Amino acid sequence: MIRLENISKIYKMGNLELKALDDVTLEIKKGEFIAIMGPSGSGKSTLMNIIGFLDTTTHGNYYLEETDITKFSDNDLASIRNSRIGFIFQSFNLLNNLTASGNVELPLVYSGKKNRKKLADDCLESVGLEYRTHHRPKELSGGQQQRVAIARALANDPSIIMADEPTGALDSKTGVEIMALLRELNNKGITVIIVTHDSNVASFADRIVHLKDGKIVEDIRKVEEKNINQVEKENKKKIKKNFFKNLFLSPQELLESFIMAIYSIVTNKLRTFLTMLGVIIGVASVIGMTAIGMGAQMQVTENIASRGANLLTIMPGASSRGPVRTSSGKMNLKYEDGLELEKLTDFIKAVDSSVSRNYQVIFGNKNYNSRVQGGTSKFPEVNNFEVETGSFFTESDNKAKRRVCVIGQTIKKELFEDIDPIGQYLKIKKQSFQVVGVLKGKGSSGWRDEDEIIVAPILTVQRRLMGIDYVTNINVSLFTSDQSAEAEKVINAKLRELHQIRPKDENDFTIRSQAEIIEQVNESMQSFTFLLAGIAVVSLVVGGIGIMNIMLVSVTERTREIGIRKAIGARKLDILSQFLIEAVLVSVTGGIIGIATGYGISELVKKLTGLPTVVSYDSVIVSFLFAMFVGLFFGFYPARKASKLNPIDALRYE
């Protein structure tokens, strides 16, 4: 069944070499009960580990049923451990977080068998523990734990059982019971190989192999060789490599990895939360920042669009790419320019020239700092305002430079409260202005209050308040927005003529359509939003580093568990998936909490400041996917490190 030819195992310790096995040749027949004995350091445990595929040889060949498995991959050896060998350890090596039934199920999970619960319970019943299936290892005695380990070894109906000091941690009575159970299993045709230093334990075996200094010094057969005929074809099939199984996980293996990940997270709640914190802050920041940025963009766009899609704005200064304009320092736009543009009746519906500045406005014992805007009688039509009460001033008021004004809803509320403002007088720069009308409200965005305005005749504002002869902009309302491009050409030509600009010289003014202004604002706001999101993404990366760090700690803490899983047949892919799923689960959970936190932040900002916020589905989806990617990226290295651990090194880790 097993043939070792000239097996050597050399351990390197710095510059020193320690030969644990020295040219060992051994043949084991099917159905034998063999005890391997020897003093401490004789190499008996190393020999058992090599026979059980927990360790590899330095030199020599290993044949299992005439198949040389010396060059098999780690995954192929894991498959053989799972299907052909059952391990029983001195310290039991049960997983404390699983019940007795759960521990016995593990080899069945990695073999992909169905009805695992029933098969596990049957194995526990065969060792007399049918009444302890739901108990955890800490709730069992030493003898009961060893019986669970034997049941786990029997789960996949192995042809070989290997026991390393199976009675070392038990009292003498329980030890005898365990050895009697192994004897019974051997009588059923299972090959049993035990490592022991106890001659009483070795007396149960039919054959005793003595080792000293890595060599076999004695091989004693107590009884004649057994001739146990079993179906060998089935066993030989199990030795064949299964490339497809090495590439994929079964649903049971995925579920097991998911359950173990949840258990690890729940077991270390505080540590897990602190690990998640970086991801939570990162995702919440991305969503919160983009919500504020997009809300501001939407509000500015709406404010501009509320003035009408068929509006052209003329500003002083030469145009350039983007929203920035160059200027010679001169304010070249005049009130008379607006009057001349009104004559272009083919395209232009109305023209409003304006200037504005903030002043302290006084009424009675109240005062308020407000924007005072000078405009023409066409102000409501051009800027999409309506008069709620009273009336708007006329062109004759403008020409006569009368001190009259129309106020917005915010001014009415702040200065007049319950008093009817029509006919009342406001003091602006020590001059009295009579209120003749109140505009309908447009609402406050938090960025700019459209109702915080006082409109007076432009000539009055120019001469009596500001002492200037220029205007800051001219707004032109077209009949339809389709005329925008053609109207721009006509207006451009007219203003160049009025300003006496030579053909080769650039304009001293800029014409912007509403669509162009909205596009430029959107570009600027999007850049700002992306900048904010980019800063927030840094938190996600920091969170990912935290996940990598804690997963490395987790791998170190659970090294022995990894060794146990590998000993019962877990492949690299099984271990990799277990830790990778845990990292992704931590990251995704943090992402979900971060999404909720980001939404809460955006709502809080909206409520406390009045600023508009917009949580987009795109930002939520991108944040969630990025959080998942962070878990995958930063969890892969610790998971790969765990999967590459050598089974015997992991089992020996303390």
430-478: pLDDT as tens digits: 999 999 999 998 876 545 678 899 999 999 999 999 999 999 999 998 8
Distance of CA 635 to the CA centre of its chain: 11
The single residue listed with the structure tokens 């800490």 is: 138
- CATH class for the domain made up of 2-244: alpha beta
Residue type, 581: I
Cα(480)–Cα(312) distance, integer angstroms: 11
Q: Which own/partner contact pairs does 527-531 have at CB distance under 8 Å and 24+ positions apart?
A: 528/293, 529/289, 529/290, 529/293, 529/294, 529/297
Query: pLDDT at position 321, please?
Result: 47
Q: What is the DSSP string of 25-66?
A: EEEE-TT-EEEEE-STTSSHHHHHHHHTTSS--SEEEEEETT
- Number of neighbouring beta carbons within 10 Å of residue 533: 19
Cα distance from N-terminal residue to C-terminal residue, the chain: 34
C-alpha distances out from residue 389 to 143, 407, 408, 433, 439, Å: 95, 10, 11, 17, 7
Query: Strands, E, within 470-538: which ranges?
Result: 473-478, 509-513
What are the domain boundaries of the chain? 2-244, 260-300+521-652, 331-507
Query: pLDDT at position 646, please?
Result: 83
Q: Which residues pair with 348 in a beta bridge?
A: 478
Q: What is the dihedral of CA 52, 56, 58, 63, to 10 degrees?
A: 50
What the block records as the tokens of 531 is 């900048």
**Nearest Cα to 401, choosing from 465, 459, 355?**
459
Cα(347)–Cα(214) distance, integer angstroms: 104
pTM comes to 0.63
**In the 8-state DSSP scheme, what is residue 282?**
H
What residues of the chain score a pLDDT lower than 70? 223-250, 300-309, 319-330, 444-448, 481, 514-522, 524-526, 528-529, 532-533, 536, 654
- Number of neighbouring beta carbons within 10 Å of residue 617: 7
Residue type, 242: N
Cα(112)–Cα(120) distance, integer angstroms: 13
Q: 431-439 and 425-428 as β-strands: parallel, antiparallel, unpaired?
A: antiparallel
C-alpha distances out from residue 439 to 264, 352, 393, 403, Å: 64, 17, 12, 17
Are the CB atoms for 448 and 309 separated by under 8 Å? Answer: no
> Which residues are CB-neighbours of 394 under 8 A, at least 6 positions away?
377
